[in-house]
């Protein structure tokens, strides 16, 4: 005997409700990755870690690909709770790169790249409180999100990595957004509040983003604070001598071609003897997808430090050129070969690259990186 249609409707309704019932763990997301590499320094220095401990001294802008030979850059775990109005994010980093990214000797804080809570009162406004990644710059520590395997000198020498404080983001419309920061300073975990860096003034930041299409994304930002809180060498107790950092990032894609550009300018009003100091850097990159799994990319950079003591404390200027082959055989595997990275330092302290017999102002390396990631 046929079942009446009204009965079918009544029995189907509870099943539909059960299928769409939300569970508490549906709002939790997980991501994990591992990033390892093999690097060849064509100078063949006697010390395999000559980038950081060799005869040429410290090379801070090669912090993640830190050795000549095999190395582990990062292992990472990201956990996030994304509720309708509230959320929380925790990002843990391990490996030799984590010490260079986070820069903290505390056994707990040395592994925390991000830890913040989020409140979203409406669909346009978001507040984050805690420790979070910076809003400035074109490259990030998570390698597969960049065009090249090695990160650029502009990323490592002139830009903050993270902040501790309050971040507010307001999306005005589909193409225009604003983000503001009130934070302790630059790359500070927040144990000592505003006094952690020796002064009692917060750093402030502001960024405007314009995204009219996939072909153009523009971000213009400013970041400033009392002397000693940022990148400059001023006395840490100088609350009045504010340093200013300006950051412009432009990127987009047209078909298989992607591009990126980044310009940074830093000024210290009083760098001693009543003189202002400034330094700047620029980076540009292109990437082209030859197939769904294979692509090529290139990056050029130039950093200028007229007084030779602010960006690195060694040289007056630095040029880098990097050519990269990119292969993604499966969804969550990125194999990248920075087939050649050439660097040239300028100025009296330009011999920063270790060689077999001493030091040189030119560095030449090749680096193969393998990154496995999932959940992102």
Tell me if 16 is assigned to some domain.
no
> What is the predicted pLDDT for the residue at 259?
98
Exposure of 11 in the CB half-sphere (CA atoms within 13 A):
6
Residue with tokens 């063949």: 44
**Residues near 28 by Cβ (< 8 Å), separated by ≥ 6?**
79, 80, 81, 82
Rounded to 5°, angle at Cα 324 from 318 and 329: 150
**Residues near 17 by Cβ (< 8 Å), separated by ≥ 6?**
none
Tell me if 240 is assigned to some domain.
yes
Tell me if 156 is assigned to some domain.
yes
In CATH, what number is assigned to the domain containing residue 327?
A: 2.40.160.10
Tell me if 17 is assigned to some domain.
no
> What is the predicted pLDDT for the residue at 286?
98
Mean pLDDT of 187-203: 65
Tell me if 15 is assigned to some domain.
no
Task: Indicate if the alpha-carbon torsion angle 91, 94, 98, 104 is positive or negative.
Answer: positive
Window from 105-119, 204-218, 299-313, 353-367 with minimum mean pLDDT: 299-313
Mean pLDDT of 209-237: 77
Tell me if 4 is assigned to some domain.
no
| Residue 348 CB coordination number (10 Å) | 9
Which helix or strand (DSSP H or E) is residue 238 part of? none
Q: How many domains does the chain have?
A: 1
Range of the domain at 249: 27-374
> What is the predicted pLDDT for the residue at 11?
43
At residue 143, the 3 state secondary structure works out as helix
pLDDT at 26 over 70: yes
Tens of pLDDT, residue by residue over 156-170, are 989 999 999 999 999
Tell me if 279 is assigned to some domain.
yes
Q: Which phi-psi region, left, alpha or beta, contains residue 141 (left: φ > 0; alpha: ψ -120 to 50)?
A: alpha
- Tokens in use for 123? 């669909």
Tell me if 8 is assigned to some domain.
no
């Amino acid at each position: 005997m046929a079942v009446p249609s009204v009965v079918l409707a009544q029995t189907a309704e509870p099943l539909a409700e059960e299928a769409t019932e939300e569970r508490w763990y549906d709002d939790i997301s997980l991501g994990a990755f591992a990033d390892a590499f093999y690097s060849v320094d064509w100078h063949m220095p006697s010390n395999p870690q000559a980038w950081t401990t060799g005869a040429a001294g410290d090379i801070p802008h090669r912090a993640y690909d830190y050795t000549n030979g095999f190395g582990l850059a990062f292992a990472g775990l990201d956990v996030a709770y994304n509720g309708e109005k509230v959320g929380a994010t925790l990002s843990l980093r391990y490996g030799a790169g984590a010490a260079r990214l986070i820069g903290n000797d505390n056994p707990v804080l040395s592994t925390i790249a991000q830890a913040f809570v989020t409140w979203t009162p409406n669909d346009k406004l978001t507040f984050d409180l805690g420790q979070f990644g910076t809003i400035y710059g074109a490259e990030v520590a998570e390698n597969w999100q960049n065009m090249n395997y090695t990160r650029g000198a502009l990323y490592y020498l002139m830009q903050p990595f993270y902040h501790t404080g309050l971040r507010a983001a307001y999306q005005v419309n589909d193409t225009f957004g604003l983000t503001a920061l009130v934070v302790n300073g630059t790359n500070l975990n927040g144990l000592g509040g505003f006094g952690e860096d020796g002064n009692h003034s917060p750093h402030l930041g502001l960024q405007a983003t314009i995204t009219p299409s996939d072909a153009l994304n523009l971000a213009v930002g400013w970041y400033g604070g009392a002397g000693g809180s940022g990148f400059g060498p001023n006395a840490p107790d100088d609350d009045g001598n504010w340093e200013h950092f300006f950051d412009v990032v432009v990127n987009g894609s047209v078909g298989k071609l992607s591009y990126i550009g980044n310009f940074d300018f830093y000024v210290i009003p009083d760098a001693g003897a009543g003189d202002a100091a400034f330094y700047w850097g620029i980076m540009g990159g292109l990437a082209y997808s030859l197939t769904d799994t294979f692509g090529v990319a290139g990056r050029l950079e130039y950093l200028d430090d007229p007084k030779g003591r602010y960006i690195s404390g060694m040289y007056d200027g630095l040029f880098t050129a990097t050519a990269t082959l990119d292969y993604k055989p499966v969804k969550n595997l990125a194999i990248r070969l920075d087939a050649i990275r050439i660097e040239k330092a300028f100025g009296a302290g330009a011999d920063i690259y270790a060689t077999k017999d001493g030091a040189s102002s030119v560095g030449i390396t090749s680096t193969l990186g393998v990154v496995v990631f999932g959940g992102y």
